[in-house]
Amino acid sequence: MKIISAPLALKEYLKNSKKRVGFVPTMGALHEGHISLIKQAREQNELVVVSIFVNPTQFLKGEDLDSYPKKDEADKKICELSGVDILFFPHAKDIYGEDEVSLVAPNIRGFVLEGSSRPSHFNGVLTVVMKLLNIVQPTNAYFGKKDAQQLNLISLMVKQLFMSVNIVGVDTVRESDGLAMSSRNTYLSLQEREDSLKISSSLYEATKMIRNSILDVKIIKNRMREILRPLEVEYVEILSREFEYLWHVEVGNTVILVEAKVGKTRLLDNVWL
Ligand code: PAF
């Protein structure tokens, strides 16, 4: 596995490769969820590039930028064992300059849900993803469905800016007890880890109700909120896969999203139906 940190060196290297490139952008602290993105990229491409970059512009003041889990050596090993060809490990100074051109997330879809409590978050995500995609110029780029709104906005960016990369959404990987894998799960105490299971339980309950033909969004959301009551819930939403509001679940075109704070840790989860 080659490790490259200079953006232009990577761009030059890939320009001559003429191969089908699969790209997995990450912020490191890799877990099974990332490994499943890499695995899918490995299966569908000739060359796999993974980036590890804790992007400062997507963190708001007071968030966990400085304490974000860092596991560089373990991450390198995981990439090597997962068959990654190139690990891109840039420094912030090589990605950002002083007087920056940056993207602004769309007015509505970028500032609801996650974007409502973290208003500049998606500007930072879209800007860095645009930069990374321009450096790597992959055939396919892989993102987890757990960050459903991020995936939706990146797909929208690619479509509206007429970019040629294919965006692939990959299913969420869960711990055996149902908790969705996330680098931030390491922040949870034993009690918080236990409490966090209310999030996946509320989603399972919603799925069960839908299987029993209860499709009224208000009824399902109320039941989910009952399960989530002990947590500090930021949102529970049932939307179409294009993130439009629904009165009734449309099986095949629905995503159910939860964001809740467990202690100080914000956890996201969702199911796609
Ligand atoms: O999902 C993430 O890890 C990040 O938001 C991403 C896409 C790597 C951009 O920094």
Domain of residue 114 covers 2-170
Which atom of ligand 1 lies closest to the CA of 58? 10
Q: What digits encode the pLDDT tens for the residues 117-131? A: 999 999 999 999 999
For residue 177, is it within any domain? no
Output the pTM of the full model.
0.96
Percentage above 90 pLDDT, the chain: 98
Which atom of ligand 1 lies closest to the CA of 25? 8
Domain of 94, CATH number, reads: 3.40.50.620
Is the pLDDT at 144 greater than 90? The verdict is yes
- The verdict on the CB of residue 183 being under 6 Å from ligand 1 is no
For residue 116, is it within any domain? yes
* Residues 166 and 191 placed together within one structural domain of the fold: no
For residue 76, is it within any domain? yes
Q: What is the pLDDT of residue 16?
A: 84
Q: What digits encode the pLDDT tens for the residues 205-244? A: 999 999 999 999 999 999 999 999 999 999 999 999 999 9
CA 171 – ligand 1 centroid, Å: 16
Domain of 267, CATH number, reads: 3.30.1300.10
* Residues 52 and 129 placed together within one structural domain of the fold: yes
**What percent of the chain is helix, strand and coil (3-state, nearest 5)?**
40, 20, 40
**In Å, how far are 112, 238, 256 from 203, measured between CA atoms?**
20, 11, 7
Q: How many domains does the chain have?
A: 2
* Residues 147 and 210 placed together within one structural domain of the fold: no
For residue 176, is it within any domain? no
> 91 an active-site residue?
no
Specify the higher pLDDT residue, 16 or 146.
146
Backbone angles phi, psi at 91, to 5 degrees: -95, 150
Which one of 49, 63, 129, 149 would you pick to mutate in the ligand 1 pocket, going by the greatest count of ligand atoms within 8 A of its CB?
129
**In Å, how far are 88, 160, 178 from 146, measured between CA atoms?**
23, 23, 13
* Residues 159 and 194 placed together within one structural domain of the fold: no
- The verdict on the CB of residue 147 being under 6 Å from ligand 1 is yes
* Residues 188 and 150 placed together within one structural domain of the fold: no
